A and B are shown apart, each in its own frame.
Chain A
Amino acid sequence: DSGVTQTPKHLITATGQRVTLRCSPRSGDLSVYWYQQSLDQGLQFLIQYYNGEERAKGNILERFSAQQFPDLHSELNLSSLELGDSALYFCASSVAPTRRGSEQFFGPGTRLTVL
């Protein structure tokens, strides 16, 4: 158990819909990261937040957005869903980002299926 929790575990929805994935970081971790893992794209970094502010952006679509709240939990919002958005979505947390990086602890993931 990494200490990172993600809800829900599974989500099934239809194209065009909007969903929210939730992540609670490990106690004491200030930084939260979101990743998407699909069969054809592998594990892709989406976005990072540090203490409530966006820190780094990866291959995140404009239909996707995220935020980190004052209690440090984070939400990833996916809208206008397409079949290709079906994937595992992981959240990770770390103490603080540094130049050398830091050990990231990953949650168990949310499996999103878009029908």
Chain B
Amino acid sequence: EMQLVESGGGLVQPGRSLRLSCAASGFTFDDYAMHWVRQAPGKGLEWVSGISWNGVNVAYVDSVKGRFTISRDNAKNSLYLQMNSLRPEDTALYYCAKDTGLQIAATGHWGQGTLVTVSS
């Protein structure tokens, strides 16, 4: 069974850093691009970042460029999101999602999310 399990969320002060992780199982991890998508409380979905199957191609939404870094370790079947200089508007449930193919295109299967709260 395909599984994506996020971890690393929590309460953090503005300006601080947090690293999210996503452990994947039940599929061949390096056959797929991967994504982080967030959802602020009561709001819609916002794509945050994506990474191709081999990590060569990465992309970010404008609001996190220069602050967030996506990476993956195919040997460990893991996806990461390093979040620096966090702002209150980054508060959201962060989902890890598997793409439908090798390159960044769409989010197929999703995890259950990890909550990030940025507040003093």
Q: A and B from one assembly?
A: no
Residues of B within 8 A of A (CB): none
Residues of A within 8 A of B (CB): none
